């Protein structure tokens, strides 16, 4: 983090500001104590804290300083452009077993055991380049004449699942004779190719046992491999990593911890095999269920918990503690952001970064006497940042209709978006039906999507009328020119036109912030 400038880095945090301690301790016990081989899936959406949790676990293991506990970190998307991502991954894991000095250089073997292990690792590295073939490489596929005639080209991984399962093969469109041929050819192919995979796994296991023996020669070691950002890879690349684990590296003494967005990987698996076999099946239905595939690969799934309002407020305070005093928030502004920001650590940081940038712009304008000191309310600026960054369609409407936000304030106060109303959806009680405004338009669109705009309602409904200083921290009562000050300010940070183009709607650029904020500009109110 650049503390002096008030900028919050997106890099994984070293300190626990997400209250992950209880989960982290339990996961650590599993990584170091559960039966191996083991694959743990750490599931979470974009920016939910997966990388932070994985990096904390790695540091805790490394801090033990035990030669028989080894960790490897692999950021999958950094190698996504490699022709064979699986190869980069396997090489990285094998490389992680080599003994090293404090500078990270490989150590020369000290005894016969280390020498034997080093020779094994050398052979494994060479084998990855010389012998192994993968989906997409011709010698790996079942290219018999009968398959070619039918337009079929199966990767061994999928074909091996079909072998012996004639009912499944027939169900996805294979003729009976082709289903039997799949089974025969897979067995024949395995005589050569599977023999190598088993040999590779056996030698990899021997290397793990030799290098990670505990005190007294007992094998108690662990090679813990952390795979991060798998969901940022192309679907076929993500599948390569999962299959490499099961085919080559899934041996006693190994633990794999994979951070990913489960839904993204699930869809990627189905899309990958769907594209591969759609011509065979003749249907748009996915040939492989992504969830079942993941269940076969991952033994322990862990979902990173979302941040509730209290956790979001605590996380904001945690981040503020690392910044200079001038970047600290007042309590009302902190509450506004905590109530309205999406429950995602990365989104919290993003909102705070944008807010601090705009606040600094305002302070500079005040210092240059281009703006009156109290022209901008920090809680209202925070609400504007939330609208622009999280609900760009509302920001576009707001630019067209400056008083929209005042109307929304009033509507959300009169008709709160409670958990009960979100669960009932568009089935109000009789009393609500009599009180709720009719019609469509922008307000109708927002009312129809209560869940989508529930956090917007939380932010705009705070503080309540009866709370201290509520009047100056709400949009009601502001003139159009004052409203345009907020619209123009947030419009300087991120181009709304980009979001608009994606929706196919044309819009004009936001007004210059300096024009709207300058007290010297002679402009009539719109």
- Which residues, in sequence order, are bridge partners of residue 292? none
pLDDT at 359: 92
Hey, how many other C-beta atoms are within 10 angstroms of the C-beta on 194? Answer: 15
With respect to residue 160, please indicate whether it lies within any of the assigned structural domains.
yes
d(Cα 374, Cα 368) in Å, to the nearest integer?
Answer: 14
222-228/254-260 β-pairing: parallel
The pLDDT of 327-335, averaged and rounded, is 91
Q: How many residues are recorded in the chain?
A: 526
With respect to residue 3, please indicate whether it lies within any of the assigned structural domains.
no
d(Cα 71, Cα 55) in Å, to the nearest integer?
Answer: 11
Q: Where would I find the H helices in 290-440?
A: 290-297, 309-320, 331-340, 345-367, 378-390, 392-400, 404-414, 419-424, 430-435
pTM passes above 0.75: no
Within this chain, do residues 272 and 381 fall inside the same structural domain, yes or no? no
**If pLDDT is split at 50, 70 and 90, which confidence band does 503 have?**
very low
Within this chain, do residues 297 and 316 fall inside the same structural domain, yes or no? no
d(Cα 321, Cα 300) in Å, to the nearest integer?
Answer: 35
The pLDDT of 505-520, averaged and rounded, is 38
pLDDT at 508: 35
Whether 492 and 515 have beta carbons less than 8 Å apart is answered as no
Within this chain, do residues 385 and 489 fall inside the same structural domain, yes or no? yes
Q: Scan for tokens 């091996």, then name that residue.
A: 160
Cis peptide bond upstream of 37, omega within 30: yes
- Number of structural domains in the chain: 2
Report which of residues 524 and 487 the model is more confident about. Answer: 487
d(Cα 408, Cα 96) in Å, to the nearest integer?
Answer: 56
Cα dihedral sign, 482-485-486-491 = positive
Within this chain, do residues 252 and 336 fall inside the same structural domain, yes or no? no
Within this chain, do residues 280 and 338 fall inside the same structural domain, yes or no? no
With respect to residue 526, please indicate whether it lies within any of the assigned structural domains.
no
Whole-number Cα distances in Å, 449 to 213, 402, 496: 58, 22, 22
Within this chain, do residues 329 and 264 fall inside the same structural domain, yes or no? no
Percent of the chain with pLDDT over 70: 70
Within this chain, do residues 270 and 124 fall inside the same structural domain, yes or no? yes
Within this chain, do residues 206 and 314 fall inside the same structural domain, yes or no? no
- Give the range with max mean pLDDT: 247-251, 297-301, 445-449: 297-301
Q: Which of 262, 288, 303 is the last residue of a domain?
A: 303
- Summarised one tens digit per residue, pLDDT across range 178-198 is 666 665 655 565 555 556 677
Using the predicted structure, report yes or no on whether residue 473 has a pLDDT greater than 60: yes
Sheet containing strand 222-228, edge to edge, reads: 69-75, 222-228, 254-260, 38-43, 300-303
Cis peptide bond upstream of 68, omega within 30: no
- Summarised one tens digit per residue, pLDDT across range 220-250 is 789 999 999 888 888 878 888 888 898 889 9
By CB neighbour count within 10 A (0-12 exposed, 13-18 middle, 19+ buried), where does 348 fall? Answer: buried
Within this chain, do residues 128 and 258 fall inside the same structural domain, yes or no? yes
Q: Which of 303, 319, 342 is the last residue of a domain?
A: 303
* Among the listed residues 422, 400, 409, the one whose alpha carbon sits nearest the alpha carbon of residue 379: 409
Q: Which of 303, 334, 352 is the last residue of a domain?
A: 303
With respect to residue 385, please indicate whether it lies within any of the assigned structural domains.
yes
Hey, how many other C-beta atoms are within 10 angstroms of the C-beta on 7? Answer: 16
With respect to residue 241, please indicate whether it lies within any of the assigned structural domains.
yes
Task: Report residue 7: phi and psi, to 5°.
Answer: -95, 135
Whole-number Cα distances in Å, 475 to 1, 277, 366, 402, 409: 33, 56, 21, 11, 8
Within this chain, do residues 343 and 281 fall inside the same structural domain, yes or no? no
pLDDT at 109: 81
38-43/222-228 β-pairing: unpaired
With respect to residue 11, please indicate whether it lies within any of the assigned structural domains.
no
Look up the domain containing 351 and give its range: 309-517
d(Cα 100, Cα 225) in Å, to the nearest integer?
Answer: 17
DSSP 8-state secondary structure symbol assigned to residue 46: T
pLDDT at 426: 47
Whether 255 and 70 have beta carbons less than 8 Å apart is answered as no
Percent of the chain with pLDDT over 90: 30
Least confident of 144-148, 408-412, 429-433, 479-483: 144-148
Using the predicted structure, report yes or no on whether residue 55 has a pLDDT greater than 80: yes
Using the predicted structure, report yes or no on whether residue 312 has a pLDDT greater than 70: yes
Cα dihedral sign, 484-487-493-499 = negative
Within this chain, do residues 255 and 388 fall inside the same structural domain, yes or no? no
d(Cα 412, Cα 470) in Å, to the nearest integer?
Answer: 15
Reduced to 3 states, what is the DSSP secondary structure of residue 69?
Answer: strand
With respect to residue 369, please indicate whether it lies within any of the assigned structural domains.
yes
pLDDT at 393: 92
With respect to residue 243, please indicate whether it lies within any of the assigned structural domains.
yes
Whether 470 and 464 have beta carbons less than 8 Å apart is answered as yes
- Summarised one tens digit per residue, pLDDT across range 91-117 is 999 999 888 777 778 888 888 888 888
Contacts of residue 281, defined as CB under 8 A and 6 or more positions apart, other chains included, come to 172, 173, 287
Structure tokens at 76: 């999958």
Least confident of 83-87, 321-325, 357-361, 432-436: 432-436
d(Cα 455, Cα 140) in Å, to the nearest integer?
Answer: 51
């Amino acid at each position: 983090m650049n503390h002096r400038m008030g900028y919050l880095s997106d890099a994984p945090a070293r300190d626990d500001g997400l209250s992950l301690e209880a989960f982290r301790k339990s996961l650590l016990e599993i990584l170091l104590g559960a039966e191996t081989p083991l694959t743990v899936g750490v599931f979470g959406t974009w920016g939910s804290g997966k990388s932070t949790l994985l990096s904390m676990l790695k540091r805790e293991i490394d801090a033990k300083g035990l030669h028989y506990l080894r960790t490897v970190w692999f950021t999958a998307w950094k190698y996504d452009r490699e022709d064979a991502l699986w190869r980069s991954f396997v090489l990285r894991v094998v490389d992680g077993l080599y003994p090293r000095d404090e500078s990270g250089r490989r150590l020369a073997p000290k005894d016969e055991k280390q020498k034997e292990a080093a020779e094994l690792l050398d052979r494994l590295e060479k084998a990855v380049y010389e012998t192994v073939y993968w989906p997409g490489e011709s010698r790996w596929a079942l290219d018999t004449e009968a398959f070619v005639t039918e337009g079929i080209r199966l990767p061994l991984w999928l074909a091996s699942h079909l072998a012996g399962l004639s009912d499944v093969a027939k169900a996805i469109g294979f003729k009976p004779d082709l289903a039997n041929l799949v089974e025969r050819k897979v067995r024949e192919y395995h005589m050569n190719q599977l023999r190598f995979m088993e040999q590779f796994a056996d030698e990899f296991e021997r290397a793990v046992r030799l290098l990670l023996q505990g005190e007294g020669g007992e094998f108690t070691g662990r090679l813990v491999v952390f795979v991060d950002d798998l969901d940022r890879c192309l679907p076929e690349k993500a599948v390569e990593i999962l299959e490499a684990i099961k085919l080559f590296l899934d041996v006693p003494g190994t633990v794999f911890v994979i951070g990913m967005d489960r839904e993204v990987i699930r869809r990627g698996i189905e899309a990958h095999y769907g594209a591969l076999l759609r011509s065979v099946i003749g249907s748009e239905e996915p040939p492989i269920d992504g969830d079942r595939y993941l269940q076969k690969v991952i033994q322990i799934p862990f979902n990173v918990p979302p941040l509730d309002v209290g956790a979001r407020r605590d996380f904001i305070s945690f981040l503020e503690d690392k910044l200079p005093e001038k970047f600290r928030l007042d309590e009302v502004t902190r509450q506004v952001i905590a109530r309205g920001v999406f429950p995602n650590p990365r989104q919290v940081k993003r909102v705070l970064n944008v807010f601090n940038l705009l606040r600094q712009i305002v302070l500079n304008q005040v210092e240059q006497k281009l703006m009156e000191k109290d022209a901008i309310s920090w809680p209202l600026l925070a609400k504007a940042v939330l609208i622009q960054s999280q609900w760009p369609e509302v920001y576009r409407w707001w630019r067209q209709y400056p008083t929209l936000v005042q109307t929304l304030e009033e509507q959300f106060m009169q008709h709160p978006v409670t958990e009960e109303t979100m669960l009932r959806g568009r089935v109000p009680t009789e009393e609500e039906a009599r009180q709720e405004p009719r019609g469509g338009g922008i307000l109708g669109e927002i009312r129809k999507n209560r869940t989508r705009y529930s956090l917007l309602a939380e932010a705009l409904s705070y503080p309540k009328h009866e709370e201290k200083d509520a009047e100056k921290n709400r949009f009601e009562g502001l003139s159009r020119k004052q409203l345009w000050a907020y619209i123009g300010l947030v419009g300087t940070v991120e181009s709304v036109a980009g979001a608009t183009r994606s929706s196919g709607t044309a819009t004009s650029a936001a007004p210059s912030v300096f024009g709207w904020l300058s007290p010297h500009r002679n402009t009539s109110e719109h």
